[in-house]
Amino acid sequence: MPAYILLSRLTAVSERQILATPDTLKKVRQVLEEWEANILADFHLLGMYDHCTIFEVSDNFRAQKAVLELEITRSPGTMLLPAIDLPLFQRMIGQEIRTVGPHEWQVKWWAKVIRLCFRWYQYDRWIWKYCKPLITTGKQHLKDIKGPCIVIGNHTSHFDALVLFSCLPQKIKWNIYFGAAADRWFLKGGGGRKELPLQPWYNSLIGGSFPIRRGGGSATLDYSKWLLDQGANLAIFPEGTRSTSHHMARFKHGVSILALEKNVPVVPVYLTGLAKIRPKGSRNIYPGPVQAHIQPPILLPEGTSVPDATRMIYHAVNRVHERVMEHGPDAGRHDWRG
Amino acid sequence: MATYIMLSTLTDEGRKTLKERPERLQAVNKEIESMGARVTAQYAVLGGYDFVNIIEAPTNEVMARLAVELGSRGTIQITTLPAIAVDDFVEMLKGDIKEAG
């Protein structure tokens, strides 16, 4: 979650209030927490600023709204500074940030044939080695899908994409493309790593993935729309990044925008067991049982707003997530009846 | 240990050094420790400053020495603010009010 640093100066009114009731200072925390901010540190200062609060919140909008609610910050000279964790900043300075792609040639027949030839190397050998066993349920939900669709999954591990791909029937697999973080998988020259100079091309051709820029923006979805126009299927993890908590992160709006604009079904697949196989932040891989539960496709009614559509999709996946959290992996099956 | 917020802005020379040798950031932290202080949190920020550092140091004198030492290299301009945890500050204010009453 992004961090922010709020440096504020007290107005004369605020100072009088604080002297009368010192607990007023703690209100800063309360107001920020009402906006779902997580307070990391909170100081009173001597010098050119009076107060410093370091907090995490989901985005700039929330940070700004929360700060606007604070009486204490209404004096001139108050600053809200978006902060970047220093090790990340250091990595960013040291590495290539220009990205490559998307590569439209990845939908050509010859690219699909090459991908098919590499399927064992890219996907199946990992599944065979580490997913012991891989149980897939709900394939019948995909029988009636004729045109392109958007397959979505909960995201806890780099292994998710492999399992999501493996659990799908051949007719969808043949022509499916994965959205992948541009700043992670599509850096020019592999981001300067000598062993990965062709990484973006490899990911486009063999991995069947395409770059998605973090942070949204209308141009982000142009290539996804183009893929759907070509009759291709998309696989997207709408949480945007791998989740480490027991709660699913909020969904980004991209899937809803695409599904509404192109009128295609959204197929949720709930994946379990993968966070233990390759946990976020770990390079180790441990074998273990994995389940992929394909849920019924969601067709968004015409005229649905994007936020409502995102909510609808989120609730469909979150219902399964809560069942699994309570009753275990088998509860992810669509036909599970307790 | 007292807490200080150090707001720093890179000079042109500092930007060049950082671009060429990002690992300098960690080396500076080690130097700070060798002077008897400790960086407890550190952020690169967008806005009026480039970095916000939270530093623990035993006295104002150590902190002043640190600021001069780091500033003398010509790579950053520093503003150092003594900080008090808000809970402690609130307690202190309540104490004062009781005494006055």
Between the CA of residue A298 and those of A100, A106, A173, A233, A335, what are the distances in Å? 33, 27, 19, 15, 16
State mean pLDDT over A313-329: 87
- The reply to whether B55 touches chain A by the CB within 8 Å rule is no
Yes or no: say if A269 and A295 are a contact pair by the CB < 8 Å rule: yes
Q: What confidence category does residue A192 fall into, taking pLDDT thresholds of 50, 70 and 90?
A: low
Residue A142's nearest CA partner among A294, A260, A270 is: A294
**What is the Cα–Cα distance from A28 to A45, expressed in whole angstroms?**
14
Closest by CA to B5, choosing from B53, B62, B76, B58, is B53
Q: For A136-187, how does the pLDDT look when each residue is reduced to its tens digit (9 = 90+)?
A: 888 888 888 888 999 998 887 878 888 888 889 888 888 999 988 887 788 8
Mean pLDDT of chain A: 84
- Which structural domains are found in chain B, ordered by start? 2-100 (3.30.70.920)
pLDDT in tens, A254-265: 899 999 999 999
Q: Does B68 contact A at CB distance below 8 Å?
A: no
Assess B45–A contact: CB distance below 8 Å, yes or no.
Answer: yes
Which residue among A7, A85, A93 sits closest to B43, beta carbon to beta carbon? A85
Interface mutation target, options B51, B89, B92, B94, chain A, most CBs of A under 10 Å = B89
CA distances to A18, A187, B28, B69 from B20, rounded to whole Å, are: 47, 20, 15, 21
Residue spans of the domains in chain A: they are: 3-83, 98-332
Question: Percentage of residues in chain B with pLDDT exceeding 70?
Answer: 94
Residue B56 to chain A, least CA–CA distance (Å)? 13
Q: What is the pTM of this model?
A: 0.61
Long-range pairs for A221-228 at CB < 8 Å and ≥24 separation? Answer: A221/A254, A221/A257, A221/A258, A223/A102, A224/A179, A224/A254, A224/A258, A225/A258, A225/A261, A225/A262, A226/A104, A227/A107, A227/A148, A227/A177, A228/A148, A228/A150, A228/A258, A228/A262, A228/A264
Q: What is the CATH number of domain A3-83?
A: 3.30.70.60
- Residue B101: predicted pLDDT: 39
A42 close to B85: Cβ distance less than 8 angstroms: yes
What is the rounded distance in angstroms from the CA atom of residue A271 to the CA atom of residue A249?
A: 15
Give residue A245's pLDDT band: very low, low, confident or very high (50, 70, 90): low
Please say if the pLDDT value at position B36 is more than 90: no
pLDDT greater than 80 at residue A190: no
Interchain CB distance below 8 Å, A52 and B79: no
Over residues A122-128, mean pLDDT? 86
Backbone angles phi, psi at A35, to 5 degrees: -95, 25
How many degrees, rounded to 5, is the angle at CA A34 between CA A32 and CA A38? 55
Options 3.30.230, 3.30.70, 3.10.450, 3.40.1130; CATH for A98-332 is: 3.40.1130
SS3 B85: strand
Q: Which of A122, A119, A233 is nearest to A176 (CA)?
A: A233
CA angle A323, A327, A333 (to 5 degrees): 60
- Say yes or no: do domains A3-83 and A98-332 share a fold: no
A66 three-state secondary structure: helix
Give the mutation candidate from B5, B60, B87 for the A interface (greatest A CB count, under 10 A).
B5
Chain A partners of B41 at a C-beta cutoff of 8 Å? 40-41, 54
CA A237 to chain centroid: 6
Q: CB count, 10 Å around CB of A306?
A: 16
**pLDDT for the residue numbered A95:** 66
Interchain proximity A26–B48, CB inside 8 Å: no
Contacts of residue A84, defined as CB under 8 A and 6 or more positions apart, other chains included, come to A3, A92, B43, B44, B45, B46
CA A186 to chain B, closest CA, distance in angstroms equals 22
Judge whether residue B100 has pLDDT over 50.
no
Q: Which of A41, A49, A83 sits opposite B44 (nearest CB)?
A: A83
Over the stretch A263-316, which tens digit does the pLDDT of each residue have?
999 999 998 888 777 776 667 778 888 888 999 999 999 888 989 999 999 998
The band of A241, judged by pLDDT with boundaries at 50, 70 and 90, is low
In the block, which residue shows the tokens 């060429």?
A: B20
Q: Is the pLDDT of residue B7 over 90?
A: yes
Residue B31, SS3? helix
